[in-house]
Structure 1
Amino acid sequence: MAEVIAQNPSQEVPRSTSWQMPDTLILIFFVGVFAVLLTYLIPVGNFASEQVAYVVDGVEKVRTVIDPDSFAYATDDAGQEIYKSVGLFATGSEPGLMNFAFAGLSSGSAVSVIMFMLVIGGAFGVVMRTGTIDNGILRLIEKTKGSEALFIPVLFFLFSLGGAVFGMGEEAVAFAIIIVPLMVRLGYDGITTVMVTYVATQIGFGTSWMNPFSVAIAQGIAGVPVLSGMTFRVVMWFGFTLIGILFTMMYAAKIKKDPESSYSRRSDAYFRNQALNMVDSRWNIGDTLVLLTVAATMVWVVWGVIVHAWYIGEIASQFFTMGLVAGVIAVTFRLNDMTLNDVASAFKEGAGVMLAPALLVGFAKGVLLMLGGGNTGDASVLNSILNSAGGLISGLPGAASAWLMYVFQSGFNFFVTSGSGQAVLTMPLLAPLSDIAGVTRQVSVLAFQLGDGFTNLIVPTSASLMATLGVCRIDWRDWAKFVWRFMVLLFVLASFVVVGAHLIGFA
């Protein structure tokens, strides 16, 4: 019966009268209201900066970090602490509650992320319009009947390895676009796709033994030998990856048996309808060339990230090139009878899919701006929160301090989802505080990486998460309903790992 409804999207469905989870934009707005209230309760402060040198692979690198002993509340001429209270409307360069969305969307860092999402969406819109991926999936399903379950553990393992080795995250978006139709047609769902792609990368990212964007930087700032503690972290990575695989396989088996229990059943109708509309699995030289273009782009991206440390600007240009080449191939070989205008139309439609998650990224950035942004040199509420949290942690017993470091890093990740950015902000403060609390600096780095990695699975401020959900057409509210159980599991296990590492003197 559900399949019949999926084939008739115009059929009216009675609107539920029961309570529904507010839209993600509404939730972020209320977070913004809470942020405004904090500006009335907490005075602003700032840190001074200092240069820290550390060595990675025999090469000395330098980072500008905060001096943890330099924090001071901003005061006026009378010596009174200053509150930068946020009003309803903007005053000068300071955002207000009614324009925090515009301020976030137009801020430099958010603009680059949003454009990255739109370009990737557009490029893959062209690739998907060629029909190559659809036809390739049909052929793959036909040749692998009976062994579909192998896709889940193999993909999860590979993506987790990518997250551990070179900080794979944004790249998962591109793979999810290709994998989600396959998963739906194999009888699974969009959420399974997010688990084996983006979630797997963040499991690897959070438990990595060599990630150059988080572990290496955090250890360098904390004064710990870079890439030390590798044996402990490799075992931890393998354990958490195995847990992620088992959790995903259990969920996938449940969906295979009872499709109606899927949390993304409604949004997966798009991919199910695609499957119903495909009659034959055409394959010619044009399809082969498009597939080779996609594969070559993936290799190009991975090479650029590992060898040249390319970020979203370079990656976006690589995927734009892929879309352009795929479009030329499609027009030349008349794939799906595509014309140049069809290529342009497909690009716009693909970019349109990313518009909703892109808005969420801008809104979340606006919340951060109301708290003063992420510049430690400017007096802000965020700096005051950071300093107070550090003071609280330093006054507790060692095991409690280690655990609270993990909790703090998890919460702070809502505001700063960048691994390297969070390391620069928090490690200069928590590393010396760990000495006072009797916690080894290696444990403080462990608390940082676990807190930074795992909460990326749910915070709407994570551009990579929202982009992956966007291409899989999954609403963040539906995702939250599913993933909170997995988050609780990860939180409990990570808490045991951090406290256990402290108790065994991990250094």
Structure 2
Amino acid sequence: MSEHPEQAAPAPKRSRFTLPSAYTILFGLIVVMAVATWLIPAGAYDSDAEGNPVPGTYHEVPATPQRIVVDSLTAPINGLYGIEDEAGTISYYNSGVLFGAIDVALFIIVIGGFLGVTMQTGAIQAGIGRLVARLRGREKWMIPILMSVFALGGTTFGMAEESLAFYALVIAVMVAAGYDTVTAAAILLLGCGIGVLGSTINPFATGIASGFAGIPISDGIGLRILILLISLAVGIWFVLRYAERVRRDPAKSLVADMKADNDAHFKLSADDATRQLTGRHKAILAVFGLAFVVMMYAVIPWSDLGIPLPTLWWWFPEMTASFLFFSVLIGLLGGMNEGRLTSSFVDGGRDLLGVALIIGIARGITVIMNNGQITDTVLHWAELALGDVGAAGFAIVMYTLFLPLSFLIPSSSGLATVAMPIMAPLAGFLGVPQDLVVTAYQSANGLMNLFIPTSAVVMGGLAIARVPYGRYLRWVWPLLAILAGVTVVLLGVAAVLS
């Protein structure tokens, strides 16, 4: 016998490092900006009659450095409230840019309540269940149809975390039809994600970014629809090609080694197989869609477009009130009593409270920069750096810049709040429509949130489907490259034609 018996090798230590949350990152940026006000020269542009900065008029002004601790702590609060002038009046707009973010944050919370009430009625779940049941036996058609349905949710109300509720049902049906869990996960993850990438009226991306850029949400919608349709078509083709290959030869599945276990685990339940869509559910779904149609109509400046339709000039306060009204209407249609309706609304709002807080913290960065008078200095530097790239080059540079920023700040609302006050005026300097900056931002952010490991939707969805993240990443990267290429080309063409 050996004098030193063999011992089991110690298990490798796992790294305890994790990426900080968006809250920590954004608050850290506030502190960095406070320090920057001591280092970056203060400056300002002259303004035109409408309060917009005039290119070529930048000049230095006396420095007003910010207190690192006190001003960093109060910046998010001031960012929510707005700016108080000498007369004690709170100003929410300046140079066409929204300063106070309280109305945006409240809008987000009410949207959460609206979605919470709708989900509580079971109408969305029943609608998807009915669609799945109708297509049983023709499962191949489920891929384009379901991806389109989920993309519609992504492009209109930013459907993301809500999709996690449908994984069990879709996976069970697809596995029973001879596909694998990768196909099922892709239907949801890529369907919703591409919808968000091509957001048209998504209030969490397009709405917030347009608000902070000081433009209507309808500006640039034609380009965003084109990006959505082309990206969705490419995504459907990519998933269909893989799915049919797996159906013909299960050994080609990315999770072929897990097939027996997955087939047993994801067996379709009796409840899912008999899910019913009632007349009440249909009415609720109709009203749910109507809420977004009303919002879209009310924010479009029909008179500016020369279309003989009444222009309502709605903005965040009116849109918030509208979704509050539709929340109550859907709750009544769903047969909810007062207690259930209010609790569902509060629960839904609570789910998005974190998003509202992110907006306040992110807005604090702009408050520090504005109070330290370095915003125009940064804008001036960017003007000098990008002044000769041309419209197409500017749009592409913006898209490229938003990719790493989206990894640093995966929250679409947080990134929009931080970036739009600087990027949107820069577009104006170069004669590029500001809606191109909004489209570049949301497309880049949407692309990154299809695969980054900091996304709860990506990691949660893959965990439910039992798809290892590394395998998913190796499979999906060609699609990501194609989507990026499509977006860059369309942004460049749109900039040239603008």
How high is the TM-score relative to the length of structure 1? 0.60
Runs (5+) with no aligned partner, structure 1 = 1-14, 52-62, 76-81, 91-95, 221-225, 262-271, 332-337, 373-377, 432-440, 461-467
Shift of 1:88: 0.8
Runs (5+) with no aligned partner, structure 2 = 1-12, 83-91, 93-99, 172-182, 248-252, 258-265, 301-313, 407-413, 450-454, 463-468
Query: Structure 2: how far apart are the matches of 1:428 and 1:412?
Result: 21
Query: Structure 2: how far apart are the matches of 1:329 and 1:344?
Result: 14
SS of equivalent residue, structure 1 residue 451: helix
Q: Give the alignment partner of residue 157 of structure 2, picking from 154, 172, 177.
A: 172
Is contact 2:287–2:330 with CA below 8 Å preserved after alignment? no
| Counterpart mapping for 1:209-248 below 5 A | 239-246=230-237
Q: Which residue of 2 aligns with 1:85?
A: 66
Is contact 2:194–2:232 with CA below 8 Å preserved after alignment? no
Residues 35, 493 of structure 1: alpha-carbon distance in 2 compared, 3 angstrom cutoff = farther
Residues 500, 202 of structure 1: alpha-carbon distance in 2 compared, 3 angstrom cutoff = closer
Residues 360, 184 of structure 1: alpha-carbon distance in 2 compared, 3 angstrom cutoff = farther
Q: Give the alignment partner of residue 68 of structure 1, picking from 32, 55, 58.
A: 55
Is contact 2:163–2:188 with CA below 8 Å preserved after alignment? yes
| Counterpart mapping for 1:247-286 below 5 A | 278=271, 281=274, 283=276
Query: Structure 1: how far apart are the matches of 2:377 and 2:428?
Result: 15
Shift of 1:387: 1.0
Shift of 1:89: 0.9
Is contact 1:156–1:200 with CA below 8 Å preserved after alignment? no
Residues 319, 204 of structure 1: alpha-carbon distance in 2 compared, 3 angstrom cutoff = closer
| Counterpart mapping for 1:343-358 below 5 A | 343-358=341-356
Is contact 1:43–1:83 with CA below 8 Å preserved after alignment? no
Amino acid of the structure 1 residue aligned with 2:53: I
Query: Structure 1: how far apart are the matches of 2:390 and 2:236?
Result: 35
Query: Structure 2: how far apart are the matches of 1:105 and 1:474?
Result: 33
Is contact 1:122–1:347 with CA below 8 Å preserved after alignment? yes
Q: Which residue of 2 aligns with 1:203?
A: 198
Query: Structure 2: how far apart are the matches of 1:260 and 1:23?
Result: 35
SS of equivalent residue, structure 2 residue 48: strand
Does residue 383 of the first structure (1) align with residue 383 of the second (2)? no
Query: Structure 1: how far apart are the matches of 2:226 and 2:22?
Result: 36
Is contact 2:359–2:417 with CA below 8 Å preserved after alignment? no
Query: Structure 2: how far apart are the matches of 1:500 and 1:137?
Result: 37
Show CA shifts across 1:428-448 (max 9, x none): 3122xxxxxxxxx6xx87964
Number of residue pairs matched by the alignment: 402
Residues 132, 445 of structure 1: alpha-carbon distance in 2 compared, 3 angstrom cutoff = closer
Query: Structure 1: how far apart are the matches of 2:243 and 2:17?
Result: 28
Residues 42, 18 of structure 1: alpha-carbon distance in 2 compared, 3 angstrom cutoff = same
Shift of 1:381: 1.7
Shift of 1:26: 2.4
Q: Which residue of 1 aligns with 2:116?
A: 125
How high is the TM-score relative to the length of structure 2? 0.61
Q: Give the alignment partner of residue 31 of structure 2, picking from 30, 33, 48.
A: 33
Q: Which residue of 1 aligns with 2:134?
A: 143
Show CA shifts across 1:331-368 (max 9, x none): 4xxxxxx6432333222222222122322222222222
Is contact 2:198–2:442 with CA below 8 Å preserved after alignment? yes
Residues 277, 305 of structure 1: alpha-carbon distance in 2 compared, 3 angstrom cutoff = same
| Counterpart mapping for 1:19-30 below 5 A | 19-30=17-28
Shift of 1:391: 0.8
Query: Structure 2: how far apart are the matches of 1:254 and 1:27?
Result: 42
Is contact 2:123–2:282 with CA below 8 Å preserved after alignment? yes
Shift of 1:46: 1.9
Query: Structure 2: how far apart are the matches of 1:299 and 1:44?
Result: 48
Does residue 182 of the first structure (1) align with residue 166 of the second (2)? yes
Is contact 2:46–2:58 with CA below 8 Å preserved after alignment? yes
Show CA shifts across 1:89-138 (max 9, x none): 13xxxxx2x34444445556432222222222223322322334334433
Is contact 1:104–1:362 with CA below 8 Å preserved after alignment? yes
Query: Structure 1: how far apart are the matches of 2:351 and 2:295?
Result: 26
Shift of 1:259: 7.8
Query: Structure 2: how far apart are the matches of 1:205 and 1:355?
Result: 23
Query: Structure 2: how far apart are the matches of 1:407 and 1:364?
Result: 21
Query: Structure 1: how far apart are the matches of 2:395 and 2:111?
Result: 39
Query: Structure 2: how far apart are the matches of 1:354 and 1:135?
Result: 23
Residues 448, 102 of structure 1: alpha-carbon distance in 2 compared, 3 angstrom cutoff = closer
Shift of 1:491: 5.0
| Counterpart mapping for 1:249-328 below 5 A | 278=271, 281=274, 283=276, 287-309=278-300, 310-328=314-332
Query: Structure 2: how far apart are the matches of 1:412 and 1:71?
Result: 27
Query: Structure 1: how far apart are the matches of 2:149 and 2:125?
Result: 23
Amino acid of the structure 2 residue aligned with 1:85: Q
Query: Structure 2: how far apart are the matches of 1:472 and 1:204?
Result: 22
Is contact 1:101–1:362 with CA below 8 Å preserved after alignment? yes
SS of equivalent residue, structure 1 residue 68: coil
Shift of 1:295: 1.5
Show CA shifts across 1:19-43 (max 9, x none): 3322232222333333233222212
Shift of 1:390: 0.8
Amino acid of the structure 2 residue aligned with 1:391: L
Is contact 2:189–2:458 with CA below 8 Å preserved after alignment? no
Query: Structure 1: how far apart are the matches of 2:494 and 2:256?
Result: 42
Query: Structure 2: how far apart are the matches of 1:312 and 1:277?
Result: 44
Q: Which residue of 2 aligns with 1:266?
A: none
